[in-house]
Copies of this chain bind each other. A is one copy, B any other.
Amino acid sequence: MTRVLVVDDEQRICRFVARSLDAHGFHVDSAATATDALRLAAANDYALIILDLLLPDFDGYEVLRRIVEANSSQRVLVLSAVGDVESRVRCLRLGAVDYLTKPFAIAELVERVKRRVDDHGATSMLRWLEAGGARLDLQRRSLRVGEREVPLTPREFELLEHLMRHANEVCTRLELLGDVWGYSFDPGSNVVDVCVGRLRTKLEHDLIETVRNVGYCFIAS
């Protein structure tokens, strides 16, 4: 069973989250202090660690740093009361895979956990992603569609990587803005649409489907 560690000093939240994840088939451990968290993280192999930044005995960033330093492939989802951009980028730079601000809807947390756990297998470094006649070379950051080699800009690459990693799933604009652009807010423009448009002309088959009012979806079959 997939193991997940929840780190939060509030017993209430810990139990709440644990119960919800448990109901979705995860095996959940929990820790209320940084010391416990680090000990458990070192002793077990968790698919994901859900880490509250506010802990009694240690600075949250420091805990994150140590966890990732000890095991660089450890995936961490940060929970935080502060939602500002600096904190977000700081965590992502330290190696977190996602960042969610309190208060949060439990449904969203579960969704994100599922997604990040699924990532786990895929992220562990394949050489390329392949779907629908398109092959994305993750090491060379290039795209081959059919027999032709198509150059991608960095942004286009990151966007396409995200879409292909979640092939056949709908990715919302906000999710894309967060994961590809690093925004935790809506810039109020159509950046995503434009970038998707540019990708489409390069892919030349309609591999990216638009889901009205929601976002986009890469069609794998």
A: number of interface residues (CB 8 Å): 14
Check A72–B149 contact: CB distance below 8 A: no
In residues 28-87 of chain A, which contact B (Cβ within 8 Å)? Answer: 72-73
> From residue A36, how far is it (CB to closest CB) to chain B in Å?
25
Which residues of B lie under 8 Å from residue A212 when comparing CB positions?
A: none
Chain A interface, DSSP helix/strand/loop, else mixed: loop
| Contact A149:B73 (CB < 8 A) given known A125-B125, A154-B154 | no
A107 CB-CB contact with B under 8 Å: no
Number of copies: 2
A12 CB-CB contact with B under 8 Å: no
| Contact A72:B126 (CB < 8 A) given known A93-B149, A149-B93, A154-B154 | yes
A198 to B116, CA, bound (A): 37
A125 to B124, CA, bound (A): 8
A128 CB-CB contact with B under 8 Å: yes
6 residue pairs bridging A and B, Cβ less than 8 Å apart: A72-B127, A73-B127, A93-B140, A93-B149, A95-B127, A124-B125
